[in-house]
Structure 1
Amino acid sequence: MVIPPILFFIVFSYMPMYGVLLAFKNYRVIDGIWHSPWVGLKYFEQFFQSPSNWRMIKNTILISVYSILAGFPVPIILAIALNEVRSTLYKKTVQMVTYAPYFISTVILVGMVFQFLDPHAGIVNRMIGLFGIEAQNFMGRPEMFKTIYILIGIWAGSGYAAIIYLAALAGVSKDLQEAAIIDGASLLRRIWHVDLPHIRPTIVILLILSIGNIMSVGFEMIYLMQNALNISTSEVISTYVYKIGLVNSNFSFSTAVGLFNSVINLVLLIMANYLARKTGNSSLW
């Protein structure tokens, strides 16, 4: 049973590390990776010397931090709310409605959002029009991109992410709940002093993993939402690597950018885990 996952990580995680050499070489297809000339840190210097690249790094960090601050608490709140629901039919209905967007293709999801936000026929503009507000081109306003992206992410992923917290809440001792009720604790008190302490290790571990992925903003959704008007706030490292590496065939430079991205994520993961271990009893290692 252990062999398949081990083979998976060897083939798809460790063997591709060989390609990291491209970041330090002037890769030419006819020479291959080994015989292409070494250039050292040339592409890293080229990346850091470009003023526009700092804007891209800033966009990546802001979108990720915004996602954690706005989106991370939502699955926790949803799971706690569902855990307190006593009507089985209502609970299953809410779960189905909140889980469903997770299983919708990203392309379809973004297409739906474009329809909702259409300046002429979109339901959002029709609704704000009832209050006398002029129609807005939301997808063409750079300052709106991050908010729209975060809201889509919350809509699409919160229901599915809540499953983990629901599973953790299922292990809360009924004796503690009953003891809290006998002592006169209100619902909010029971949630704060019984439920949340029980799922705190799960929250900490998932938060550490989220911090470790700050520089890895999802590529598909952002790329589909990009246009010439919002590119100043929507260009992130993942879309930049795609355009430079695959579209422009600059494999060495894109590998250097990707390696920089991965190293930053690793450092953030180690720091977050260290802080979690020092401030509490929960950590990845």
Structure 2
Amino acid sequence: MKQASAQGSIPAARMTGKDQQHSILTRMRREKWMYVLLIPGLLYFLIFKYVPMWGALLAFKNYQPFLGFFKSEWVGFEHFRVFFANPEFGMLLSNTLMLSFLNMVFFFPAPIILALLLNEVRLALFKRTIQTLIYVPHFIPMVIVASLTYVFLTTEGGIVNEYLYKWTGQKIDFLSQPDWFRPIIILQTIWKECGWGTIIFLAALAAVDVEQYEAAIMDGANRWKQIWHITLPSISSTIVILLILRMGNVLDNGFEQIYLMLNPLNRSVAEVFDTYVYMVGITQGAFSYSTAVGLFKSIVGIILVLGTNWLAKRFGHSGLY
């Protein structure tokens, strides 16, 4: 029997290409409904992600709608040269990077901290109630968030300014002063998305082995030491992966939020690549130029993702691939 089983395992280890193909087809037939479930997702990425990549060629053409895509003049890297030579390029780059940096410093750790705090709550009813309350803002449209911000901070009847005037006799024009734009954007982002971001980290915390905490308690470790030496190392891989994905959006601050809070008085700190593409591409009809700007953002995002993934591997983490 042992000899037969050993002989039966040899062909499996030395399968030819034809045998492997037959094995794959057999497995696909056996799990056919799993592959059927993949079809909607594949169609989504094919139609909305891969097919539109053809439009990136507009960045290398002087697109004229009346000539069409194929008859428009090929200009190569001319739009990129004009974009980099534009006096506003420095302002756009600095504003975009500053908002991304502030989001990375203040917003990215916020869901982690909140998830750690919720993980320490032992009363199940209270924990579920808090989770529900912090999830709700994610489903509020950004237009409503901007409207609420206006209601609270406007100088003409705003709740915050009314109390400031009552206490100090002065009002602060939060919505027009450039110094207040970035703090408002960061606070909006934290309030709206922080609770939703805890879902992934709470799922990662649920997978931590409880026996490690019991062993740490036996060794005399307090709650802070347990979090630092057990909890954080256990979810470090999740944090690194989300950080890598986050780096791909460094030049993408979100058009709707910035556009709703943008006005001529704070434009010097509020104008970013997303709003610039809209103003140039949609309102001025510079389709090829705006496509070049968008392609520049995508290329920088890919480089940052690959670079961050490489650094993560150098420091001993698994990375994305």
TM-score bracket, shorter-length normalisation: over 0.9
CA distances 1:247-267 after superposition (whole Å, capped 9, x unpaired): 111101000111111111111
How well do the aligned residues superpose, as a CA RMSD in angstroms? 1.1
Give, in whole Å, the separation in 1 of the partners of 2:165 and 2:213: 48
For residue 175 of structure 2, the aligned residue among 125, 132, 139 is 139
The corresponding residue for 1:163 is 199
Partner of 2:185: 149
Quick check: 1:64 aligned with 2:87? no
Q: Deviations over 1:130-166 (max 9, x none)?
A: 5416211101011211111011000000000001100
1:189 has 2:219 as partner: no
The alpha-carbon deviation at position 129 of structure 1 amounts to 3.5
Distance in 2 separating the partners of 1:180 and 1:123: 49
Separation in 1 of the partners of 2:282 and 2:215?
61
Superposed displacement of residue 7, structure 1: 1.2
Cross-structure match for 1:2: 38
Q: Which residue of 2 aligns with 1:201?
A: 237
Distance 1:169 1:48 in 2: 45
Secondary structure of 1:32 counterpart? coil
For 2:206 and 2:262, how far apart are their aligned partners in 1?
Answer: 41
Identity %: 46
1:1-285 correspondence runs (5 A): 1-132=37-168, 134-285=170-321
> Which amino acid is the alignment partner of residue 90 of structure 1?
F
Q: How many residues align?
A: 285
Q: Who is 2:30 aligned against?
A: none
Native 8 Å contact 1:129 1:135 kept in 2: yes
Report the Cα distance in structure 1 between the residues aligned to 2:318 and 2:163, rounded to whole angstroms.
46
Residues in 2 aligned to 1:73 and 1:126: alpha-carbon distance in whole angstroms: 33
Which amino acid in 1 is paired with 2:136? Answer: A
Other structure's SS at 2:151 match: helix
Q: Distance in 1 between matches of 2:234 and 2:117?
A: 15
Deviations 1:18-71 (A, max 9, x none): 111111111111221111111111111111111112101110111011101111
For 1:130 and 1:30, how far apart are their aligned partners in 2? 60
Structure 2 Cα separation of the partners of residues 192 and 282 of structure 1: 20
- 1:127 and 1:87, CA in 2 relative to 1: closer, same or farther beyond 3 A? farther
CA distance in 2, matches of 1:93, 1:132: 37
* Separation in structure 2 between the aligned mates of residue 225 and residue 76 of structure 1, nearest angstrom: 27
CA distance in 1, matches of 2:263, 2:288: 26
CA distance in 2, matches of 1:133, 1:50: 44
Q: Which ranges of 4 or more aligned residues in structure 1 deviate by more than 6 Å? A: none
How far off is 1:89 after superposition?
Answer: 2.0
Opposite residue 76 of structure 1, the aligned amino acid is: I
C-alpha contact (below 8 Å) 1:145/1:234 kept by paired residues: yes
Local SS of the residue matching 2:88 = helix
Per-residue CA deviation, residues 80-125 of structure 1 (Å, 9 max, x unaligned), is: 1001101122212211221111110110011001111111322222
Tell me the TM-score normalized by structure 1.
Answer: 0.97
**Amino acid in structure 1 at the alignment position of 2:128:** K
Query: Which amino acid is 1:50 matched to?
Result: N
Unaligned runs of 5+ in 2: 1-36
Deviations 1:217-255 (A, max 9, x none): 111010001111111111000111011111111101000
Deviates more, 1:242-251 or 1:159-168: 242-251
Match of 2:16 in 1: none
Within 2, Cα distance between the matches of 1:110 and 1:201?
A: 35
Question: Structure 2 CA distance, aligned partners of 1:58 and 1:15?
Answer: 32
